[in-house]
Each structure stands twice: as structure tokens, then as C-alpha cells.
Amino acid sequence: MLIVDLEVRRNDFNLRADFTAKDDEIVAVVGPNGAGKTTLLRAIAGLQSLSAGSIASGAAVWEDANRGINRPPEDRSVGYVPQAGLLFAHMSVIENVAFATAGDITAARVWLERLGLEDLAGIRPAQLSGGQAQLVALARALARGPEVLLLDEPMASVDAANRAGVRRQLRAQLRQTAAVRLMVTHDALEAAAIADRILVVDGGVITQRGTIEELVTHPRSPYVAELVGVNFYTGVATDGLVVVHGGGVLHSGEAVSGEVIAAVHPRAVALHFDHPTGTPRNVWRGRVSAIEPSLDRIRVTVEGDLRVVAEVTRAGSEMVAEGDAVWVSIKASEVSAFPR
Amino acid sequence: MKRFIPNRVGLLATVGIGLLMVPFIGLLIRTPWTRFAGDLSESGTAVRLSVVVSVSAALVAVALGVPLGWALARGRFRGKGLVRAIVLLPIVLPPVVAGTALLASLGRRGFVGSIIDDVFGVTFPFTTPGAIIAASFVALPFVTLVAEAGFRAVDESHEEIAATLGAGSWRRFRRIALPKAAPALAAGAVLGWARALGEFGATVTFAGNLDGRTQTLPLAIFFELQSDPEAAFSLSLILVAVSVVVLVVARRAWVR
């Protein structure tokens, strides 16, 4: 178990984070660039000293600014896979892994076999693809047998064609590893695919923590809403009727009152050319301002009383064009409203 | 725009390269090729001594200069600027002053030399170790500065990763920093050795000119010039040839 309650102050940047990560879970740390994600990992690894607070793994205190405890990285049971992998260019793949096993080549070979990399043992890192290099870096970090495994954007240097395969490998390996596993990413899909729990770091603080489902239904910030791709509003609610800041109202199925956040998944937003029939509680007229294709669907932005993004099927999208006047309808049960 | 060199600049540049080339042409003309081999064998002692002194000095300079370069590149300590100034001093110092200073400190009556004499019964003036000390003194700054630049060029993030893989500071230095800086360290060693090979002023001042003990090639050339200039030309040509080889070898390490 990793217990973190730390503060890092630098000239240009402050980071405060407190959380506990258990041995049986994979935690994703997501956040925009410059949010402090890498600084958090470096602090845990012992590469960045704390200004205040402490880091402990189980009963072992790794760092405690108040008590003047600061173990160097080599005395922390940690495995760190940095963004660029950073394999040692002057050593072969197996020598890189053996660096973490104190020169034990046999043990290093076992790790390469576990990741299906034994064919690469003799070659130099310069000849590896981005995905292979990342997996070797993972094997090297695992080979130390760490209590805490830290991965910084493990997919960043993997080209798109290999991404799915490497992600599957990464997921399988992380699932098998008995350690606290902390993975930094800015990709919600990656976090959803691999992690059990998500910490959102923004501006040097943890702004939200929860499962991906919780983030989708209850985004606490525009950043999280953008990350998971849902519509995000703030307003004042009276028994489920939300008067949105900046204009417009939303009916929610949830009987909340006071300052609230309201979130609507784009797939719950229906578009019509004629006034919709049936009983949706939220209906308004708007004008299509942007059409953005994604893989199997189209994201349509509609400006009206409220600005909303709808996801429609490709078939449906052929009928709308920018500038079209449309009706927007959302069922009240699809509007998630919760106190700020 | 077409690039061109203004006439005045071109003229001065030509004079400059001429100043650098003409002496070698003169040396080639005056070298007595007929007795070249004979001069060489007659000066065998000086040649051998030069090899011993310059190689020993290079080893001393590497053994001390690499740690010093590491400390300057990575160390965080007070007075680092002062340390660097002390390292640079022998480069700008006239060698004869260096020799005088060595005499004043490590000579028979110097404050360190007298202690060494009392304790070990060893004195440096007029001995080969004295010539090695003089050559090491002038070679050390070159090795140190090139090593420092080499260590600076090594990306620290690799050493950080090595630390997270359980490597202590010595293992990080030996397995990561040293191999990565190796080309620069080799270049520094060659440069230091070349400086030691050519050393004259400090050696003659501190260690004296004793045939077979302290009379290295440069000293032999200087004193031959007064008795047998032809022999001096032959020996000079050897050092020119060695320098050219060093330049070619070292360039490969520097320019990459």
C-alpha cells in the first residue's frame, strides 16, 4: 500500500497530492499537460524532494519532510518507467533488464520471456520500435520486483498501428503484477482500459478521484467533462430544475437543489428537424455550429439556449449541415445533476 | 546572396594560415634526411624517456582529472568557481612559472618536498618522477576540462533511471556516466598526453636537464639546437608527425 500526502514547491509550480493506493489496484493519474503528473511520479520515485509531507510504502517511510527522512531512489522499492522509456543505449536489451537484477542474466531472461521479448535479448535499444522499447523498459522496471510501479505515459512513444497490441500487453502485465501500480496518462480511453481508479490532477492539485463511470456521470470540472467527452454545465437547481449559469434551463431526474453541476452524455442528446413528439422534458431550438466526425459517429455542436454536443450515427449525420436549424431533446433521466 | 570573403579579410586569413604552415615547410627543408635514421637512434634515450614520462603523466592526469571533471560537472559545492579557476590556471600560466612554483613547493626545500624527503627520503628535482610531475601538472587541466564537458553532455535522466533500478552512486558512475562519457574521456586523455609530450618549460625548470632521467625529446631538441642543429631538426620532425597523428585520432573522437 502506498500512502502519499505530499507537497512540492518550486519557483514556477506547486503540487499538492494526498491519496492511498492499494496493492490490488491500478490507479491512473490523468490531467492536462503541466498539471504535475510527472512531478508526482518523480516525487514518489525519490527523484524530486518534497517540500512538505510524506510518502510511505506499507510500513516503510520513504520520505518525511518533517522528520528529515529522505531515502534515495535506490533504497525505495520502486519501478519507474519514464515517458521516453530511457533504455541504456550502450547496453543490449538483456543487459538493460539485468541492470535491475544486479547482473543476474538468468533472471533477466525470465522477465523478457514473460513479456514475449526473448527474441530481442541481444539487440541494442536503438533498433527497437517505440512499442518494443516501452515493453523492455517495463520488463526492466518489473525485474527489480518493486512494491510500487510507476508508469509515465507508457503509450506516448508507441505509434498508432501498434498501440492496441502494446496496450493489451501492458494491461495483461499490469494485471499480473502484485504491486501498487500508478500510471500517468492524458488519454481517458487508456485510463478506462487499464485502470481501476482514476485521480484527476489539474493545476497541481487532485481535483477528482473515482472510477471512469463516476467521471462520466459526475464530472467535477470542465476538464474532466472534456476528457470523457460529456456536456458540462453549472447552475442553480430547485428540486431538479437547473437554471444554468449563462442562460438556459435543464430538467434533471434527480431532485437536487442548490449550486449544482449538470452533465449530459452526447449520446443522450437527440436532434430533430421537426418538433419532437413524445415526452422529453428538455426541448429547445438551436442552430448547428460545428460537425466533427469521429470513428463511427459524428459529434454535432448545437448553439441555442444551451450549447450542447450531440453524438449521432453516421447515417443520421448525412442529413444535417452547419447552419441548419434543429430541435434538441434530452430526457430528464439523462441529465445527471449533483451538488458542486 | 552569394557568399564571399572580402579581399582584406581574405588577405589576412592567407597570411594567418601562412604563419602556421611556413615553419613546418622550413623544418621539412632543413631535415637532414640522409642522417635521419642515425639521429633517431642516437636520441633513443630521449625518445624512450619521452614515452615513459608522457604516458605516465597522461595516466596521472586521467586518474585525477576524470574525478575532478566529474566534481565540476555534477558536484554542488561552495567555491566551485574557485576550483575551476585553479584548474584553468596552468593553461594560462607560463610553464617556466609553473616549474618555479613546483620547485618552491615540491623541491628539496619546498614545504611539501622537504616533508617527502624527511619521510620517504625521496626528492623530485633531477629525477624521472619529477619530470612526470611537471608534465602531469600541465596536462591535468586539459583532461579535467574535456572530462567536465563530456560529463555535462551525459543526460542525467539515465542516471536517475539507474537509481530507480537500485543502482547506488558508484554503480551509476561506473555503468552509466563513464561509458557514456567515454569518447570525451578518450579525447581528453589524448589531449593531455600530447600536452605532456610537448612539455618543456616546467620540466626544465623543476626537473632539470639530465640525460636519461629528465631529458625528454623537447629538452633534447632545445639543447641539440645549440650543439648540433641538424639533429634538432630530425627530432622536431618526429614530434610534428606524432602531433599530426594525435590530431587525426582525437578529431574522430571530438567531431561526431
List residues of A whose CB lies inside 8 A of any B CB.
45-47, 72-74, 76, 78-80, 82, 84, 86, 88, 90, 99-100, 102, 140-141, 144
What pLDDT is attached to residue B39? Answer: 77
- Decide: A280 and A330 in contact? Cβ < 8 Å: yes
**Does the pLDDT value for residue B255 go beyond 60?**
no
Interface test with A, best of B160, B161, B173 (most A CBs within 10 A): B161
Phi, psi of A307, deg, nearest 5: -90, 130
What pLDDT is attached to residue A216? Answer: 86
> How large a percentage of chain B has pLDDT more than 90?
64
Query: Please, where are the H alpha helices in A207-267?
Result: 212-217, 222-228
Q: How many CA atoms lie within 13 A of B90 on its CB side?
A: 26
B76 to chain A, minimum CA–CA distance in Å? Answer: 16
Q: Which residues of A touch B179 (CB under 8 A)?
A: 90
What pLDDT is attached to residue A148? Answer: 95
- Rounded to whole angstroms, the Cα distance separating A3 from A334 reads 37
A14 to chain B, minimum CA–CA distance in Å? Answer: 22
B161:A144 CB<8 A? no
**Does the pLDDT value for residue A234 go beyond 70?**
yes
- Rounded to whole angstroms, the Cα distance separating B105 from B103 reads 5
- The three grid cell numbers given for residue A7, joined into one nine-digit string: 507537497
A134 to chain B, minimum CA–CA distance in Å? Answer: 14
A100:B175 CB<8 A? no
Q: Which residues of B touch A88 (CB under 8 A)?
A: 158, 162, 176
Closest CA to A199 of A11, A27, A13, A23: A27
State how far the alpha carbon of B196 is from the alpha carbons of A259, A277, B53, B97, in Å: 80, 96, 8, 16
Q: What is the ipTM of this complex?
A: 0.81
Closest CA to B61 of B202, B176, B195, B158: B195
pLDDT, greater one: A156 or A48: A48
Closest CA to A326 of A313, A308, A314: A308
Decide the pairing of beta strands A26-30 and A180-185. parallel
- Rounded to whole angstroms, the Cα distance separating B230 from A200 reads 83
A204 Cβ neighbours under 8 A, 6+ residues apart? A13, A14, A15, A16, A35, A36
B162:A79 CB<8 A? no
Tell me the three state secondary structure of residue B141.
Answer: helix
A99 to chain B, minimum CA–CA distance in Å? Answer: 7
The shortest CB-CB distance from A144 to any of B166, B168, B180 is to B166
B161:A82 CB<8 A? yes
What pLDDT is attached to residue B1? Answer: 62
What pLDDT is attached to residue A317? Answer: 62
pLDDT tens figures, B94-130 = 999 999 999 999 998 889 999 998 899 888 988 999 9
Interface test with B, best of A55, A77, A83, A86 (most B CBs within 10 A): A86
Q: Which residues of B touch A102 (CB under 8 A)?
A: 166
Q: Which domains does chain B have, with CATH numbers?
A: 54-255 (1.10.3720.10)
Q: Which residues of A touch B177 (CB under 8 A)?
A: none
- pLDDT band at residue B253 using 50, 70 and 90 as cut-offs: low
Predicted TM-score (pTM) of the model is 0.79
